[in-house]
Structure 1
């Protein structure tokens, strides 16, 4: 008899059972480890997919949107008319295009709560509204004012078919401003000398650390007047015969909603719900407002910062604003 067989025969039963249990436990642990490894790899893959999906903002078609019946399309502008946020042309225009092209949208309601902002952004939005209204003449665009619709906000509102307000809403302020500061007096008191070298007679235009010349002031005023006339032309074209012009209508003053209706700056009183129900006759309201994700906000902020830096590098002048 071999020594191995003898050893096996002499090994107690409990030792063999213990060894078998240890082996089985090891196998089970390895299997569990593999299963958890597969689980975590799948989880990581899913997270990577979600991050990529969020970053590139893939727009998969929604069955709910495809099957929805007649409704009122809502687009919101809340805050300043600027290069970012709900008042940015890059956000408003895609929303307008989606709403106008949707066969189920009986009308578009633009809800505005804005003190104004960039005349450029407002002008781009107005031009697109005109184009869409010409392309879809059967589909009206209404504006509903919340708290305030002034300056750049009203610039956009004037392009609508009708404007509805609350009696206490703030409406109007058809004017343009350019603001800044001058520090020359303080610098003289502190004994600070401004050393500015330029190539070009007006390259230091509106530099806050240099005295303001009369020619620069006149040039800035001329530019403001030109933008103001553009604003007035948009209001007159949009409101037409409904406008009851007064000497101070385009002076930059603003009025309550009740007064705005009497002056022809607005058409009546209403909310999104009452306009959808009583005017559009489509009570279901669907929000088409484009929402920005984090990547888009970061990229836009970066682009805005680069653009602002370029402007500052070219000129010290503040940017005109309809607010």
Structure 2
């Protein structure tokens, strides 16, 4: 038992030293980069039809070898010129976005700007949007905002498809449910309609080492559970009530966009693979995003929109520290 206590104290000291070192590194980086490392914004647009055509040309050239190479190059040039001439500005378009989610949904700022850009050009009566989503969920407020960004497309009447190749669970599924249609790979992880929270408490260890913690609040439930202070049964009960309320709001939001879901059966925090999720109504079709986009390219002009904002080194270090702290002090998450 004494070994466990000593190890716990050692671990707490190590984590404290690590966080201090990261903070000092952030301050040093901020001083070094002041006036030099500016935030840079970049919005890129890539026509996916051209990518598929180039891939086809490269493969055909490789199959025919050197003998047919020159003839193919001339043919490709003619085909490219003809394709450019036949490009119709009024042809229906699909705007393709990609979202890779972490616990903080850090990509939500990029998603926000990409959707804003799309809304300046989209024609809801003919154009569509596809979002390739990969996320296991995270902080409630962050993923709630990400879902609200996708809802901007639905609210404008844009047909929205979410494509899931690997995972759209918890907060990721909260986002996916906004779509008119969800397409998932057969073994993509889907669902996990639940809320989880955990928080370490080292109050007893501190007391054994004669460390007093004073916590003063104004408002009965300003703090429910804490890391350092003594937790009470009343605080735990209030914390559980907050989790249940968050779960209820999660279900209400899903019901708004996918009213056919049997949430009494599905909102248990379990997850399913795509093959299992299809008959449950969690997804609408089984296929990969690659197959979906290639099929759409035969009928639509596909434009992949990507927004990037290069953060100063000091900001990137600060975000890394915040993310590490949040993983240690896990808050309510979907």
Question: Which secondary structure does the structure 2 equivalent of 1:291 belong to?
Answer: strand
Question: Among residues 134, 140, 148, which one is paired with 1:119 in the alignment?
Answer: 140
Q: How does 1:226-241 map to 2 (within 5 A)?
A: 226-241=245-260
Question: Which secondary structure does the structure 1 equivalent of 2:200 belong to?
Answer: coil
Q: How far apart are residue 206 of structure 1 and its match?
A: 1.7
CA distance in 2, matches of 1:53, 1:283: 43
Asked if structure 2 preserves the Cα contact closer than 8 Å seen for 1:100 and 1:108, the reply is no
CA distance in 2, matches of 1:122, 1:172: 14
Alpha-carbon distance change, 220 to 58 in structure 1, aligned in 2, over 3 angstroms: closer
Q: Which segments of 5 or more consecutive residues in structure 2 lack a partner in the other structure? A: 1-34, 49-86
| The structure with more radius of gyration | 1
- Please say if 1:221 is aligned against 2:233: no
Coordinate RMSD, CA, aligned:
3.7
CA distance in 1, matches of 2:305, 2:44: 14
CA distance in 2, matches of 1:63, 1:175: 37
* 1:75 corresponding residue in structure 2: 97
* 2:52 corresponding residue in structure 1: none
Question: Among residues 230, 242, 248, which one is paired with 1:211 in the alignment?
Answer: 230
TM-score by length of 1: 0.66
Instruction: Report which structure shows greater RCO (CA 8 Å, sep ≥6).
Output: 2
Q: How far apart are residue 81 of structure 1 and its match?
A: 5.1
* 1:155 corresponding residue in structure 2: 174
* 2:57 corresponding residue in structure 1: none
Q: How far apart are residue 248 of structure 1 and its match?
A: 3.8
Question: Which secondary structure does the structure 1 equivalent of 2:227 belong to?
Answer: coil
Q: How far apart are residue 56 of structure 1 and its match?
A: 5.3
Q: Which segments of 5 or more consecutive residues in structure 1 lack a partner in the other structure? A: 1-51, 312-316
Question: Which secondary structure does the structure 2 equivalent of 1:289 belong to?
Answer: strand
TM-score by length of 2: 0.64
Question: Among residues 251, 275, 285, which one is paired with 1:258 in the alignment?
Answer: 275
CA distance in 1, matches of 2:232, 2:144: 31
Q: How does 1:173-322 map to 2 (within 5 A)?
A: 173-187=192-206, 190-200=208-218, 205-241=224-260, 243=261, 245=262, 247-278=264-295, 282=299, 284-295=301-312, 298-299=314-315, 302=318, 319-322=331-334
Question: Among residues 186, 190, 199, which one is paired with 1:171 in the alignment?
Answer: 190
Asked if structure 1 preserves the Cα contact closer than 8 Å seen for 2:41 and 2:308, the reply is no
Give the count of matched residue pairs.
256
Q: Pick which of 91-100 and 257-266 moved more.
A: 91-100
Alpha-carbon distance change, 83 to 265 in structure 1, aligned in 2, over 3 angstroms: closer
* 1:107 corresponding residue in structure 2: 128
Alpha-carbon distance change, 123 to 272 in structure 1, aligned in 2, over 3 angstroms: same
Question: Among residues 136, 155, 172, which one is paired with 1:134 in the alignment?
Answer: 155
